[in-house]
């Protein structure tokens, strides 16, 4: 049996939020409870992404939520964080979809695109009429994106792209792909490292194909694809003019990682709340609820403490972000800590539910499997450790 979510606020966290921030969370929570929770277990079981929710999410302003124009909601970063929290409380795959559409497609178009590119794509992406994907990771290059093999060769007024991308959310349902490629040097001096630029590639162009990844035990309600670009010709007008080097896609990843740091709190809340309600009802040993036992209370106390700490960490990064003072190492700390916290909450919650914890009558095992992917993508736990390490020592250990 599933339980009605009761919320998690041990330390009066809501007192730190504005009325608008609470309203965003309330509205998103209602949408998740009404539209996603009733279908998510069957979607996960069937490996189906709920496309029917795309346009309703667009109508609510979920896509590109922090962008101030082009039909976007213009939320502050804390409001957007609470949005992601509630989405991932529903399912990591749904938050991933919104995160990619927003932080990895709409953000780079807004940050690096021409006026024509912004006007053409952003209003349609904001409503969900058009979908996008982000092509950075390759089969042989994940944590080291600078090693990418995808190339763009100038040919008259066009560019010809060749390469492979892997583990791409929304790849096979996207209308446009933000593809990162190295420019081939056609000059006499080819000793310099090729420059990385971003390209907007419409997915119906000849030579572009997407193949879905099957057999996933994680993010089953999300579309994950491999992309192939075989002599894909795009006009020079499709290059993102403001993109310049690896720092451009990495800035997009910082936007997405920030959303993850909030989103996983929602997954942790879902697991903790399920375990708490279950422990109060489940009776063992002298017909007492298992919540009366010390070992169970220790697990619950650990979870609510770590969730509270994660809330405060994400909130501070969000406040810094709204002031323009959040650095990438701050976001790495939030992503690293909060994903770890959420996974531990899922494991402890599964332990409290015993054998029932593995059944999809409850959301815990689904969250646990999803979080294993979230721990890896957008920078692994180890990579974020090294980012923080370099920040505090001044010494890169890559």
Maximum C-alpha span of the chain: 84
Rounded-to-integer distance, Cα 114 and Cα 109, Å: 8
Closest CA to 196 of 130, 123, 248, 138: 248
Q: Which two tokens stand for residue 196?
A: 């990385």
Q: Is 204 exposed, middle or buried (0-12, 13-18, 19+ CB in 10 A)?
A: exposed
Q: Which residues pair with 202 in a beta bridge?
A: 176
What is the DSSP code string of 292-310? GSHHHHHHHHHHHHHHHHH
Query: By the 8 A CB rule, do 276 and 300 touch?
Result: yes
Annotated active-site residue 378? The verdict is yes
Task: Report the run of H or E that residue 327 belongs to, with start and end.
Answer: none
**What are phi and psi for residue 158, nearest 5 degrees?**
-120, 170
Rounded-to-integer distance, Cα 295 and Cα 118, Å: 55
Rounded-to-integer distance, Cα 135 and Cα 121, Å: 17
Query: By the 8 A CB rule, do 177 and 203 touch?
Result: yes
Count of residues in the chain: 398
What sections of 13-158 are H helices per DSSP? Answer: 19-31, 37-46, 54-59, 77-90, 92-99, 107-112, 115-127
Say which of 79, 86, 88, 378 is annotated catalytic: 378
Collapsing DSSP to helix, strand or coil, 160 comes out as strand
Rounded-to-integer distance, Cα 119 and Cα 117, Å: 6
Rounded-to-integer distance, Cα 299 and Cα 286, Å: 21
Cβ neighbours for 13, distance < 8 A, ≥ 6 positions apart: 308, 311, 312, 315
Rounded-to-integer distance, Cα 170 and Cα 134, Å: 9
Q: Which residues have a catalytic role annotated?
A: 378
């Amino acid at each position: 049996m599933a339980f009605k979510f009761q919320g998690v606020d041990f330390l009066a966290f809501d007192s730190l939020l504005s009325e608008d921030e609470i309203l965003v969370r309330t509205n998103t929570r209602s949408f998740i409870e009404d539209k996603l929770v009733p279908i998510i277990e069957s979607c996960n079981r069937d490996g189906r992404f709920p496309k029917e929710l795309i346009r309703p999410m667009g109508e609510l302003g979920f896509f590109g939520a922090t962008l101030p124009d082009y039909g976007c909601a213009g939320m502050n970063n804390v409001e957007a964080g609470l949005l992601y929290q509630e989405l991932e409380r529903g399912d990591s795959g749904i938050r991933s979809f919104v995160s990619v559409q927003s932080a990895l497609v709409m953000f780079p178009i807004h940050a690096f695109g021409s006026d024509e590119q912004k006007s053409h794509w952003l209003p349609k992406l904001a409503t969900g009429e058009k979908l996008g994907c982000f092509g950075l990771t390759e089969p042989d290059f994940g944590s080291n994106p600078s090693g990418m093999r995808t190339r763009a060769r100038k040919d008259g007024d066009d560019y010809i792209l060749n390469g492979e991308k892997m583990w791409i959310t929304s790849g096979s349902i996207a209308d446009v792909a933000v593809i990162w490629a190295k420019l081939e040097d056609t000059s006499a001096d080819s000793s310099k490292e090729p420059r990385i630029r971003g390209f907007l590639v419409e997915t119906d162009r000849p030579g572009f194909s997407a193949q879905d990844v099957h057999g996933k035990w994680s993010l089953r309600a999300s579309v994950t694809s491999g992309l192939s670009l075989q002599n894909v010709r795009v006009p020079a007008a499709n290059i993102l003019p403001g993109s310049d080097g690896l720092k451009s896609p990495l800035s997009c990843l910082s936007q997405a990682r920030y959303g993850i740091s909030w989103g996983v709190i929602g997954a942790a809340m879902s697991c903790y709340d399920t375990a708490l309600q279950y422990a109060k009802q489940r009776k063992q040993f002298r017909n007492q609820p298992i919540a009366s036992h010390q070992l169970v209370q220790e697990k619950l106390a650990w979870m609510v403490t770590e969730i509270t700490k994660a809330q405060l960490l994400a909130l501070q990064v969000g406040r810094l972000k709204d002031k323009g003072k959040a650095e990438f190492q701050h976001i790495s700390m939030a992503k690293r800590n909060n994903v770890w916290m959420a996974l531990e909450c899922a494991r402890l919650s599964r332990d409290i539910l015993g054998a029932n914890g593995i059944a999809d009558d409850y959301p815990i095992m689904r969250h646990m499997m999803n979080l294993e992917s979230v721990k890896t993508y957008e920078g692994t736990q180890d990579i974020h450790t090294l980012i923080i390490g370099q920040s505090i020592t001044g010494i890169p250990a890559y």
